[in-house]
Structure 1
Amino acid sequence: MPTDPRDLRDDAPLLDAWLRFGQEPPTPFTIPGHKQRRDLVGDVVAGDVPLYAGLDTMKLTKGVLAEAEARAARLWGADVCRFSTGGATHANQAVALAVGGDGGRVVVSRTLHRSLLIGLVLAGLTPVWVRPEIDPATGLPRGVQPDSVRRVLAENPDVRAVFVGDPSYVGLVGDVAGLAEAAHEHDVPLVVDAAWAAHFGFHPDLPRHPLQLGADAMIISAHKTLPAWSQAALVLARTRRLDPARLEAGVEATATTSPAGAVLASTDAARALLERDGERLLGAAIGATRSARARLAEVPGLVVLDGPHVDPLKLTLVLSGTGADGNAVEQDLLAAGLPVESADRDVLVAVVTLADTAETLATFAEAVAASVERHRGSPRPTAGPAVYRVEPVAATTPREAFFASAEAVVVARAVGRVSAELVAPYPPGIPVLAPGERVTAEALAALDQARRLGVRIAYAADPSLRTLRVLKD
């Protein structure tokens, strides 16, 4: 049964303010410059209502944002919630600033998104890397093991916090409760980038979300698995081990001073929908995804990630055993109007949300099955992306390298030099080289493999990787 968003407005103060603005439009003498006129550049600006002098007064006298954030904090069991219009990127950097200060070191999962690494640069923090286990059946990364974190904390008792990403980009779920226990044994906070887990904890067939499992803070992207505008995210925290004033300062320091009201209102609406109808809507999506998994599992040679440690709403397919090229399958899906989140030669990743239906998932499963048969070839070994196995070699801190004098050199001459830039295959944006790390033949080979598999190399000044920016000798 479709949901009328107007039915949510009594429980969503930002959504109510956004709807009210449309019903009682003012004649504004404030930004944005389009002044709500659609005859200038068209409907592209439709719904663009600012927070200041839009959803609220310029002086925020109505308090609708604070009220919406308080409701979200209650729903997720947090002491503090802040909405972001800058995605999980903004939220990650805000938390990095919250635990920074006079520098220091933090334990960081090597599978975390590049946004946190830039957060370390901003906060002057130095990462102590921990590596995830690699699933031997698929070559894809599992979660970081609690004993790995315990070992690193025992060897580095001065660290300020532990940062991990969970679930992984491909939907594998780690032992967050064990990680929280390991961090708390050393009285440091566990921060979880749970960008792909905004739906966790709201249906009995879904994993519990990180705060339920003992984490001190989590970042979720409302636009990834909930029906919110792009760039909508939340940072939720408990404050026993995190200073709420520092977190507030971190959020404000890295946030825009002109937040988009539609993004904020959609975050509020998505929260209200999740609270009211989440279990019903998620249950339908989980059931439809289960059927799609069963259909895809019938395809000979196709591995469909499944089981208790896999997000039920992530369809990750390993094509090595079919011999089909995932890039060719992606082209078929694009031609059919069925784009996927990620595709390379060996792996396809499709995101399912509560917006999907049994019909959309059945159509997708049949299209994938037909395309794999069309492109079927000789099975390949399942090695997995080499980027997950690269061992980082730190030469200086990320902050020192980011601001140091640098030069571009031919890539063959970069081995042994110190990288001045972040280089990562995208998606998912996990760094292979980071500022301050020594360029190794292993890292360059992993990047070359990713490119040959059809993955875009992102963030490098020269995306062709003919040259790399390295610190001047």
Structure 2
Amino acid sequence: MTPLFSRLLALAHDNHAAFYAPGHKGSQGVFPGLAQAWGTAVFRADLPELPGLDNLFAPEGVILEAQTLAAETFGADQTWFLVNGSTCGIIAAILATVGEGEKILLPRNVHQSAISGLILSGAMPVFVNPPYDPQWDLSYGLTPESIEQALQIHPDIKTVFVLSPTYQGVCPDLKAITAITQRHNIPLIVDEAHGSHFKFHPNFPPPALELGADLVIQSTHKTLGAMTQASMLHRQGARVDPQKINRALQLVESTSPSYLLLASLDAARAQMATQGETLWSETLTLAQRARQTLTSIPGLKIFDPQPQAGIEYFDPTRLTIDVSGLGLTGYAADEILTETLGVIAELPLGRSLTFILTFGNTNQDIQRLIDAFQTLSENNQAQQPLNKPNISTDQPETCYGLPQLSPRQAFFATSRAVSLEASLNQICAELICPYPPGIPAIMPGEKITVATLASLRQTLQLGGVITGASDPSLKTIRVID
């Protein structure tokens, strides 16, 4: 049953004279090259809020039906379809739970969309550093102990925001974390952008909703069959007012939502409801084959974590490969794989690359991945392994302090550009992110430290890309005047 997708499909084939947007009028006005490349069917289905297609911001018909089915499938009390990605869902969740000057607890490795939520809401972040693994140069999930400690130091925290899973598939102990937030009677928001598939196979980590989270944001397009940008926001329990979510989403979503994206969410949900476990069983078999074979290739190291601080569960469909044993950075290996071997990773980092495996991958894909790394190993076995990262940090493992200014105050403050050297100990006015993964190295309101500058320089030296800086070369940085 696909109420929204089926209605859109029917209207796409309806014969009528169109005097409404979009301007291509159902494909008649499309550039011929587009029609030739993609066909006309997709443009016939690119419809606005016509009678019978419902309204995303006041659903009463097929959108409401589709969202209700999604809530039942994913285990929520209520689900909202999102057409601006998980970004708008994360921002809306923050806006609905914390206001100007109020405190929200977040891991320091949050996605930049959460910082946008802080800027728009005016909330004051209490950042907690998750456990860091220097061997892999990766941060894990927040520990329950660090959250409990933060709530003791800042008993006026209004909301807790956690990331689960990380890009590498690491999930914290959400069961223990939800027990803490429920005891304090404050909402728990979970950025589950990379975990929309957890519900559909017993070998995956338990989904955040099952473990008691109040709000969960999922990028349905990342691991399920929806189109890019198509995501979902789920709510359960009574700690968050759904009307606040409604109002917040109207601020951050387009008033002209794409019905192609909305219909793809309806279809992706139906696919999981009817075939999910079968499809993911096949994917898990492919992932296991890739993991076993790649482990035997000289110079490679495969990420396979065991439960420890910050790691309660691990998603086996995430494949992270350390290539430093071949004398390569993740960025350099990514360039070779992409340009000469026809294999493209999701995320290159300084020492590793992460690959997302889904039911869209085939045996041929896995063989191509294996062959590519075999070639990479054979061509680089003579190289000296890379040294481990050697960036000192002036932050303890956990940190419960507040920034000098709230991100909103810093964002709107007068700023000036200074050299990197002169920026030391100044308050940053920019949101500067190595991308991917889009985790801020420094954000508005934070003091610029030696460790921050060293990290940014190393990212550039290793071939990474820095986004958000007004000076893309990063010779200068904007600070609060």
Q: Which residue number corresponds to residue 361 of structure 2?
A: 356
- Specify the SS of the correspondent of 2:89: helix
TM-score (ref. length: structure 1): 0.92
Q: Runs of 5+ in structure 2 lacking a partner? A: 307-312
> Any stretches of 5+ residues in structure 1 without a counterpart?
1-10
Q: Secondary structure at the match of 1:128?
A: strand
Aligned in 2, Cα 1:61/1:443: closer, same or farther, shift over 3 Å? closer
Which deviates more, 415-424 or 49-58?
Answer: 49-58
2:175 and 2:85 map into 1 onto residues whose CA distance is 25
Deviation at 1:62, TM superposition (A): 6.5
User: 1:371 and 1:393, CA in 2 relative to 1: closer, same or farther beyond 3 A?
Assistant: farther
Select the residue among 16, 28, 31 that pairs with 2:21: 31
2:389 counterpart (379, 383, 400): 383
Q: Distance in 2 between matches of 1:245 and 1:123?
A: 16
Instruction: Tell me the distance in 2 between the aligned counterparts of 1:316 and 1:122.
Output: 34
The corresponding residue for 2:47 is 50
Q: 1:330 aligns with which of 330, 334, 350?
A: 334
Distance 1:192 1:409 in 2: 37
Normalising by structure 2, we get a TM-score of 0.91
Cα drift, residue 151 of structure 1: 0.2
For structure 1, which segment, 405-414 or 65-74, has the greater mean C-alpha deviation from structure 2 after superposition?
Answer: 405-414
1:316 equivalent among 312, 317, 320: 320
CA contact (8 A) 1:54 1:261 kept: no
In the alignment, which residue of structure 1 is the partner of 2:196?
198
Q: How many residues are paired up?
A: 462
The alpha-carbon deviation at position 39 of structure 1 amounts to: 5.0
Report the CA distance between 1:324 and its aligned residue: 3.0
Q: Could you tell me which amino acid in structure 2 is paired with residue 394 of structure 1?
A: P
2:378 maps to which residue?
373
1:211-269 deviation per Cα after TM superposition (whole angstroms, max 9, x unaligned): 11111111000110011111011000113211111111111221110000000000110
Change (3 A) 1:82 1:57: closer
Secondary structure in 2 matching 1:340: coil
Q: Does the 8 A contact of 1:107 with 1:163 survive in 2?
A: yes
Give the stretch that moved more between structures: 401-410 or 29-38: 29-38
Cα 1:149/1:352, change in 2 over 3 Å:
same
Show the counterpart of 2:131: 133
Deviation at 1:455, TM superposition (A): 1.3
Q: Aligned equivalents of 2:374 and 2:247: distance in 1?
A: 50
Q: Secondary structure at the match of 1:419?
A: coil
SS at match of 2:411: helix
Q: For the residues of structure 2 that align with 1:385 and 1:204, how far apart are their CA atoms?
A: 39
Kept in 1: contact 2:54–2:61 (CA 8 A): no
What letter corresponds to residue 264 of structure 1 in structure 2?
L
| Corresponding residue of 1:341 | 346
Counterpart residue number, 1:109 = 107
Superposed CA RMSD in Å reads 2.2
> In the alignment, is the contact (CA less than 8 A) between 1:32 and 1:50 conserved in 2?
yes
For the Cα contact (< 8 Å) 1:284–1:357, is it kept in 2?
A: no
Given the superposition, is the C-alpha separation of residues 236 and 61 from structure 1 closer, same or farther in structure 2, using an over 3 Å criterion? closer
Q: Percent identity?
A: 34
CA 1:374–1:382: 2 relative to 1, 3 Å: same
1:82-101 equivalences under 5 Å are: 82-101=80-99
Give the secondary-structure state (helix, strand or coil) at the position aligned to 2:431. coil
Which deviates more, 153-162 or 353-362?
353-362
C-alpha distance in structure 2 between counterparts of 1:49 and 1:455, whole Å: 37
Tell me whether 1:283 sits opposite 2:281 in the alignment: yes
Aligned AA for 2:326?
Answer: T
The range that moved more, 131-140 or 283-292, is: 131-140
Partner-residue secondary structure (3-state), 1:231: coil
Q: State the SS of the aligned residue for 1:214.
A: coil
Instruction: Give 2:6's match in structure 1, choosing from 12, 16, 29.
Output: 16
CA-to-aligned-CA distance 1:332-391 (integer Å, 9 cap, x gap): 321333211122441111111111122211211221222133123112333388899797
Q: 2:185 aligns with which of 184, 187, 208?
A: 187
Q: Tell me, what secondary structure is at the counterpart of 2:200?
A: coil
Q: How does 1:39-438 map to 2 (within 5 A)?
A: 40-41=30-31, 42-43=34-35, 46-47=42-43, 49-53=46-50, 56=53, 63-307=61-305, 309-334=313-338, 335-376=340-381, 377-383=383-389, 394-438=403-447
Which segment is superposed worse, 402-411 or 276-285?
Answer: 402-411
Check conservation: 1:387, 1:432, Cα contact below 8 A: no
Determine if contact 2:329/2:386 at 8 Å carries over to the other structure: no
How far did residue 141 of structure 1 move?
A: 1.1
CA distance in 1, matches of 2:185, 2:390: 36
User: 1:321/1:248 Cα in 2 relative to 1: closer, same or farther (>3 Å)?
Assistant: same
Q: After the TM superposition, which of the residue ranges 340-349 and 293-302 deviates more from structure 2?
A: 340-349
Structure 1 residue 197, shift from structure 2 partner: 0.4
Secondary structure of the structure 1 residue equivalent to 2:418: strand
Tell me the secondary structure at the aligned position of residue 210 of structure 1: coil
The CA distance in 1 between the partners of 2:446 and 2:52, in whole Å, is 45
For 2:245 and 2:150, how far apart are their aligned partners in 1?
25
